[in-house]
Structure 1
Amino acid sequence: MSSTTAISGSSDARGERQIAAESALADPAGPARRRSIVLSQVGLTVILTVTVVLGLLIRDATGSPGVLLAGWILSLVVTSIAVVTPWSRILPQSPFALPLLNLLVIGLVRFGAGETLSGTGLLAALPAVWIAASHVRTATAVALTFGATSLLVSLPPILGGAPLLTGGLPGLVLLPVVLAGLTWFVSSLVRDNRGRQVALLASEGALRRSEKEARARERLLDTVLETVRVGLLAVDADGHDILMNARQRESHLAAAPEGNTDPSESDLLIFGPDGQTPLPPAERPVRRAIDGEDLESIQIWAGTPPMQRAISVSSTSLHDDDGAFAGTVVSFSDITELMLALQAKDRFLASVSHEFRTPLTSILGYLDVALELEAELPEQARHYLRVARRNALRLERLVEDFLAINAGTFEVNPVRTDVGLILAEAAESALVRATRAGLRLVNRAPASLPAVVDPDRLGQVVDNLLSNAMKYNRPGGCITLDAALDGTTLRIEVEDTGIGIAPEEVQHVFDRFFRSASVRSTGVTGVGLGLLITRSIVGEHNGSISVTSELGEGTCFTILLPQG
């Protein structure tokens, strides 16, 4: 007994953890459970009925027909209880009362049948299995089986008849121990099976929830993809399309040759930034992205006029858990309106630049005529005329630079030049305007500083930087011009104590038409081309220009030009 209880204890802990989960589950199989209980009871009653009939037919002196019939009647009562009880409305543990009553029935039938049907006691195995399969703890099932079977074995001696099993005391103990062991074994199997069923139900519930969440995420993703105004394409490592939103499908068809409703990538009409040069399939953005290249704002033109569209293409590679290339996501932004606006701006700038040439030519002509008469003019007037002519020539060069920006070319002719003189002339030209603005202009550059540069272009660069320093300064501020030859590099600095540039805008100061928010708020006029021209000229000298600035404190531009 103690060993059986100890063995059953190992499964109790596991069974106890399952009781709460099992009890918490609804009983969706209530009708099936009732049917199982009724069929089990009816089957046992049929067996007992056959046993009773046999006992009555071949009974011996040790039998008791009255007890035999009483056991059979009790079995009918138990069967009636099984049939009328609403098992789906009561706890799952309740049916274990039926096998206990059946054990009593088997005891009565065995006692009534006598020694003729001594094997009737083995029928106790059926209620024992039933108890083991009930929703009770293993230890409880073993204890109930052992106790009820012990009572069954002891009933004949108690009632004064022959013992149920021969063999004395060992015979009285053997059946309860065997059936208790059978109960423990079956209960353990049932517990494990129920545990797996509970886990399976939980897994199925989690799977259903996961599927529901996945469908919700898929609907959300589809909605987002179809809502965004950017074309999106996802391809796998082999270049096969995984996903394409409606916006990209429209762009894809817009680039298709006429009459081709399902073009491949190589069939699409894709052109370079000029909108005219066809791009070979290997150089197209999607092909480059499939090859593992991450793209950033690559401009192309898709289709042919008048429906041709400008597209900005970017891509990001996908990688699996091992870091291997698994595909790429490509985005397509329609920038046609922006490109058309920029083209209109360029055309306007070119038109205005051409219009400037006529009055500038007239101004320069009259200044040249006036300077031919310089002998008849006071020295101060001649000085003013020379300054005016020099700035008119620079204005003419600026107009030419506007045209050069549109053409994408700048002409630079470096020669041996006195940079100190160029900087002095630039400072002299800016001094009058600086004084009127209440600014102090300091030229710290050496009076003579030989270097190889384009004198006109360098003068234009310094004029641009000094002009900006005056525009974006404040009354009482200071502008410092400095230069030096550091080994094989000519360094020129223009520093001011003006309004400064915000950190997030510093990297954009050399962009075409860029004007910072702080500048726009001041009302200072400008088109945002001066620094672009300045950087282009410095670049043609194989040099570099950098800027450091602190908002509200001032700005410093540094030019480095290689010498040698």
Structure 2
Amino acid sequence: MVNRAAPSRESAEKPAHRFRNSLGDPRMALFAPRVTARLLQGVFALIFLAATILLLFIELHTVLSLRYLTGGVLIAAATAAVFLPAMNGRDIKPWMVVLPGMDFLAFAIIRLESTGAATNPMVMMLTLPAIWAGLMRSWRSIAVIAVLSVAVITPDIVVLTQGRLTEPNADRAIMLIGMLPLVMILGAIAAHTMASILIDRQLALKREREQRAAAAAESERSRFLLDTVLDSLAVGVIVTDPEGELVLMNRILRESPELSADGADPWEAYKNSPAFEADGLTPLPDDESTYNRVVRGEHVSEQLLWVGPPHGRQRALSISGSPVHTATGEHIANVIIITEVTDYLQALKAKDAFIGTVSHELRTPLTTVTGVLEVFEEHIDELPSALAQWLPVLQRNVMRQHVLVRDLLTAAGTRSGALLLERDTTDLGCVATEAVSALSAEAGRKNIEIVLDVHSAVGSFDPTRLSQVAENLITNAVRYTPPGGRVTVRTRTVGDELELAVSDTGVGISAADKERLFEQFFRSESARSSAIRGIGLGLAIVKAIVEAHRGRINIDSEPGEGTTVTVRLPRD
């Protein structure tokens, strides 16, 4: 996710500042004067005109008076002013409060002429300019309206205090004096409040739209960045929804000649392409494909498949995949990663072929040397003492070379396919005992005690292969245990399983090295720095043999606290 800096407070307030003036903060064009002023002033003028026409029939002399005519001129001037070009803008200016003020002033003059008479009901139409002043969202405007409201009722106050009104007119004047300023001020305040609420709401909606637009732009930018990154990868990437429908396929797959040949849909071609298991010959069942397994919710790690016709041009693929869940556990997608490993496997095959060839070539002279040494051993009494003392050393080194050749051949065999097993009903304890016997001399040279804790563990397995497992584990334990240490070999039956455990008091294994122990030719840094013999095949061979027996292997170790390797095999 690409992070973007949040807008500063100053930049966020720029739109608001654009509308600020001494009368308030009308930040939006919702109550622009070209709309509100013309509407309210226009309606006010029409009502005044209608009232004036009625007065012509009721009190003609009032309409023809100088004061009424003066008030009418002020109202006409205010109405004409709202149509001036200056009123076309979006902003409310301080001077615009003059226009509703002219309406109030006009009625104040008219009331001097007709106090307590037919013009009393007409003053209520001043609610419209009061509302306009409130929509300016300025307390100064409301203060102006309050002062002018008092001015409108001042003539009534004067005549009422002088007692010049009849009792009915006096009552109406008292009601007018008490209610008019209150109605005008509350009307303006109500308009002010409503304008504030509406403008704040509109600002909130605007901010929300901007945030959504920014989020959409950010999402699009992130999507573009993700697509660019995925398209630049040298491995295939597929993303599907939880039901397995395609969401994304990167370029290396979309443009793959095998998937897009003859205009084919790469996604459909991928799903329908026949695949074969690691041997390149056995068809992979549809329900065992990485795609179907991941859609079922399984996690797949480096499944090796071959695509292409058997005995033809095939490509090797290493495929991994897993479902994707949110922090709350919701299944939102599936991801499949496809890596072509054809060249890698061909290189490994060539290496294994080379190792196999070399091993076979070494085995012949080793057999000859072994035969010669056996003849020397039979006639050791006839050999010069200087030569006879070297005979055990020669035998020991030839045996090491035999073990090395055996391990090399076994390692090459594990890559070419499953190991062939010759099962027999045998006691694992006997196998362990023979392995200890074969390695006791090497342990003795380092003054390492081997403790044998053997219990009956009879089952069906390949005794030759299991002997190789036991010898490799005990050899490693002896090599990595300092002089004076102890190696414990234990066999037993646990339920339906046979168990072989080899423990030592050696140097232990770090967590980083533990992850790579079963890799062929891997040797830890401590082994290399300590010049401990070995080529890094022992545990890889052990693992291959154990898995061929459908068993499992576990390593429990901490640096400086020794190591315990436990092998468990099914009895049958």
* TM range, smaller chain: 0.7 to 0.9
* Superposition deviation, residue 409 in structure 1: 0.9
Change (3 A) 1:219 1:505: same
134-143 vs 542-551, greater mean Cα deviation: 134-143
Instruction: For 2:362 and 2:370, locate their aligned partners in 1 and report how far apart those are by CA, in whole Å.
Output: 12
190-199 vs 487-496, greater mean Cα deviation: 487-496
Instruction: Map 1:11-160 onto structure 2 (within 5 A).
Output: 23-24=24-25, 26-27=27-28, 32-34=32-34, 36-37=36-37, 40-41=40-41, 44=44, 48=48, 65-76=65-76, 78=78, 95-112=96-113, 120-136=122-138, 147-151=150-154, 153-154=156-157
Q: Which amino acid aligns with 2:154?
A: L
Change (3 A) 1:529 1:364: same
Which SS does the other structure have where 1:233 is aligned?
strand
Which SS does the other structure have where 2:301 is aligned?
coil
* Superposition deviation, residue 151 in structure 1: 3.1
Change (3 A) 1:152 1:478: farther
* CA offset digits 1:283-318 (Å, max 9, x no partner): 321122223333333233345665735232212244
Instruction: Map 1:265-280 onto structure 2 (within 5 A).
Output: 265-280=270-285
Q: Is the 8 A contact 2:304 2:319 kept in 1?
A: yes
Q: Is the 8 A contact 1:236 1:326 kept in 2?
A: yes
Instruction: For 2:551 and 2:100, locate their aligned partners in 1 and report how far apart those are by CA, in whole Å.
Output: 101
Which SS does the other structure have where 1:130 is aligned?
helix
Which residue of the other structure, out of 483, 487, 502, is the alignment partner of 1:493?
Answer: 502
Q: Is the 8 A contact 1:410 1:537 kept in 2?
A: no
Change (3 A) 1:244 1:460: closer
Which SS does the other structure have where 1:528 is aligned?
coil
Which SS does the other structure have where 2:509 is aligned?
coil
Q: Is the 8 A contact 1:426 1:463 kept in 2?
A: yes
1:409 aligned to 2:419?
A: yes
Q: Is the 8 A contact 1:298 1:313 kept in 2?
A: yes
Instruction: For 1:54 and 1:485, locate their aligned partners in 2 and report how far apart those are by CA, in whole Å.
Output: 120
Gaps of 5+ in 2: 1-19
Q: Is the 8 A contact 1:129 1:183 kept in 2?
A: no
Change (3 A) 1:144 1:478: farther
Change (3 A) 1:61 1:441: closer
Instruction: For 1:457 and 1:280, locate their aligned partners in 2 and report how far apart those are by CA, in whole Å.
Output: 31
Which SS does the other structure have where 2:240 is aligned?
strand
Paired residue for 1:427?
440
1:481 aligned to 2:487?
A: yes
Change (3 A) 1:334 1:401: closer
Which residue of the other structure, out of 486, 508, 521, is the alignment partner of 1:513?
Answer: 521
Q: Which amino acid aligns with 1:281?
A: D
Which residue of the other structure, out of 215, 221, 224, is the alignment partner of 1:222?
Answer: 224
Paired residue for 2:338?
332
Which SS does the other structure have where 1:243 is aligned?
strand
Change (3 A) 1:353 1:419: same
352-361 vs 302-311, greater mean Cα deviation: 302-311
* CA offset digits 1:446-479 (Å, max 9, x no partner): 8x998769775555445434543465566xx344
Q: Is the 8 A contact 1:314 1:330 kept in 2?
A: yes
Q: Which amino acid aligns with 2:448?
A: L
Q: Which amino acid aligns with 1:301?
A: W
Paired residue for 1:345?
351
Instruction: Map 1:254-293 onto structure 2 (within 5 A).
Output: 254-255=258-259, 260-262=264-266, 264=268, 265-293=270-298
Which residue of the other structure, out of 476, 488, 498, is the alignment partner of 1:468?
Answer: 476
* CA offset digits 1:311-368 (Å, max 9, x no partner): 32212244797x6655423333444444344333333322322322322232234344
Instruction: For 1:33 and 1:421, locate their aligned partners in 2 and report how far apart those are by CA, in whole Å.
Output: 105
Q: Is the 8 A contact 1:315 1:330 kept in 2?
A: yes
520-529 vs 151-160, greater mean Cα deviation: 151-160
Which SS does the other structure have where 2:448 is aligned?
strand
1:531 aligned to 2:539?
A: yes
Instruction: For 2:392 and 2:425, locate their aligned partners in 1 and report how far apart those are by CA, in whole Å.
Output: 28
* Superposition deviation, residue 172 in structure 1: 3.4
Instruction: Map 1:226-375 onto structure 2 (within 5 A).
Output: 226-228=228-230, 229=233, 230-251=235-256, 254-255=258-259, 260-262=264-266, 264=268, 265-303=270-308, 306=313, 308-318=315-325, 325-371=331-377, 373=379
Q: Is the 8 A contact 2:37 2:82 kept in 1?
A: yes
* CA offset digits 1:375-429 (Å, max 9, x no partner): 756897886777677656545543542343244215455646485454233221x
* Superposition deviation, residue 156 in structure 1: 6.4
417-426 vs 151-160, greater mean Cα deviation: 151-160
Name the % identity: 24
Instruction: For 1:152 and 1:279, locate their aligned partners in 2 and report how far apart those are by CA, in whole Å.
Output: 104
Change (3 A) 1:46 1:444: closer
Instruction: For 2:105 and 2:376, locate their aligned partners in 1 and report how far apart those are by CA, in whole Å.
Output: 140
* Superposition deviation, residue 513 in structure 1: 3.3
302-311 vs 212-221, greater mean Cα deviation: 302-311
* Superposition deviation, residue 105 in structure 1: 0.7
Q: Which amino acid aligns with 2:502?
A: E
Q: Is the 8 A contact 2:295 2:323 kept in 1?
A: no
Q: Is the 8 A contact 2:135 2:192 kept in 1?
A: yes
Q: Is the 8 A contact 1:418 1:450 kept in 2?
A: no
Which SS does the other structure have where 2:488 is aligned?
strand
Q: Is the 8 A contact 2:373 2:391 kept in 1?
A: no
Q: Is the 8 A contact 1:131 1:183 kept in 2?
A: no
Instruction: For 1:187 and 1:126, locate their aligned partners in 2 and report how far apart those are by CA, in whole Å.
Output: 13
Q: Is the 8 A contact 2:302 2:320 kept in 1?
A: yes
Which SS does the other structure have where 2:306 is aligned?
strand
Change (3 A) 1:250 1:373: farther
Q: Is the 8 A contact 1:299 1:313 kept in 2?
A: no
Change (3 A) 1:371 1:26: same
Q: Is the 8 A contact 1:65 1:113 kept in 2?
A: no
Instruction: For 1:557 and 1:511, locate their aligned partners in 2 and report how far apart those are by CA, in whole Å.
Output: 16
Which SS does the other structure have where 1:440 is aligned?
coil
Q: Which amino acid aligns with 1:67?
A: R
Instruction: For 2:338 and 2:158, locate their aligned partners in 1 and report how far apart those are by CA, in whole Å.
Output: 91
CA RMSD between the two structures? 4.8
49-58 vs 213-222, greater mean Cα deviation: 49-58
TM-score where L is the length of structure 1: 0.74
Instruction: For 2:80 and 2:158, locate their aligned partners in 1 and report how far apart those are by CA, in whole Å.
Output: 25
Q: Is the 8 A contact 1:418 1:451 kept in 2?
A: no
Q: Is the 8 A contact 1:255 1:303 kept in 2?
A: no
